[in-house]
Structure 1
Amino acid sequence: MAVFAQLTDLHLRPPGTLTLGRIDTDRFVVQAIDAINSRHPYIDAVIVSGDITDLGEEDAYNRAAMLLSRFAVPVIVIPGNHDSTPTLRDAFQAFPGFAEECVPGKACHVHKIGGVTVVALDTSVSSPDQSQHQGELGEAQLRWLDATLATSGPVLIAMHHPPFQVGIDFMDKIGLTDARAFAKVLARHENIVRIVCGHVHRTIVSEVGGVPVMAIPGVAHQVVLALDEMTPPALVMEPPAYGVHMIEGGRAVSHIGYVETYGAPVTFDDHEPVTA
């Protein structure tokens, strides 16, 4: 069995700077790393599915690389819409996948871990002022994905933007623009066990091309659950979380863990039936 922890949407700023002037994302990231290291010592790798920083600053990437180096297992990092791919690549040269460029202009890479092929896709769109927040895989990366899937065993795909409409209007407006082309690639392969992503800062489950997809909450703030077009874009300080994905025999089971603690566990009495 292969076990992967997932963090997403760190939104780090340079040390000493609060994200959006109010959120201590650095503290949340440290707490999340500590929680995973203490609770899940058996993981085989960590996936960080985008928005490593909030504004693409070099000092923020250097801080992120230092913090993520506290994991004793491989850390697979991909960019999100808030990231600067060139700056991210420079800071993460020592991390898996950044020593080579599989697709020009895209930070996508592939890894074999515990009998599972992890395919990390880059959905970020480059812009000089980081004003583009929609996602795009692009034809070249889709061709690379198609070829990679054709020669792999069980596959876990990691990406930032969910490849489906989530029902939150203001997030769907900055969703993945070539989701249909992506679904067509998926439909040609039967070895993909799960797609994991972030971007929406919420737990969301769906499927694309017959493949189960799971988006997980952010490390710090979340996006308001607004399932109507009238609610304006907003964030909420709901509990920070991470994902744990277990893959065995071509089957995946996924869990959400919460970073913070909510009191000591209450154990079941040995003489009482175990119920929840």
Structure 2
Amino acid sequence: MDFEKLEQVSRRAALLAGDKIMEIYNADDFEVKSKSDDSPVTEADEAADALISEILAEAFPDTLIVTEEQADSHKETADTFLIVDPLDGTKEFVKRRGEFTVNIAYVENGTPIRGVVYAPAKDRLFYTDASGQSVEELGDLAVDTVGEVKPISVSEPDNSALMVVASKSHRDQATDDYIAKYAVKDMTSAGSSLKLCLIATGEADIYPRLGRTMEWDTAAGHAVVLGAGGQVVRFDDHTPLTYGKPIYENPFFIVMSPGVELKEA
């Protein structure tokens, strides 16, 4: 893979998809449908998916593209693949909360080694550069002009006063019980893959996820965490979370700064 090209193409695709999403988000009304699993899907999901898929397929014609909105792609497997969630946080989008993201990642031998996460309503753009370092691009985000790019890194946590991030839409008692095992300084909540990015920037120390997720939900944020020096491990045995699993479904997992002293489940 040409990582310079991948960085440029993924960044451009994410920003263009974000523009399309915001066009629909800012409209007076938009259509919301239900998928077979009763999760919502909007015209913004579908428009962003079509746009990203076209850009990636043209740039990388020999690479498998797995995307949430194309069920046939979930039956395909490869050692290396691109994986896309064109609009993660559809519930946040529908409620107009702004905490939704565009996610594009490149997976190699089970590990997401490059990724871009764009939160268009928050004007926050995170990605791994060609070298694998995670960055946040600041200022006015433009498709054809790269702004100020700042390397990001995970925190050096104080295990007697941890900052925890949890899901806004998927919080439950099991999550609260697990968080209670830690000495918590404060908690914050966020929607979509922004939670992983808060670990990558050092704004939080640990994010436990005890709930169903799919690989397209996490791959881009996972890559950004790795490129910032963080870790994403399985909840059950604390081994690295890997990709390319059957139907692209994740087990429970924990995202963290390496300095966090993990508790047993």
TM-score (norm 1): 0.27
TM-score (norm 2): 0.28
Please tell me whether Structure 1 or Structure 2 has the larger radius of gyration of its CA atoms: 1
Which structure is higher in helix share? 2
Which structure is higher in strand share? 2
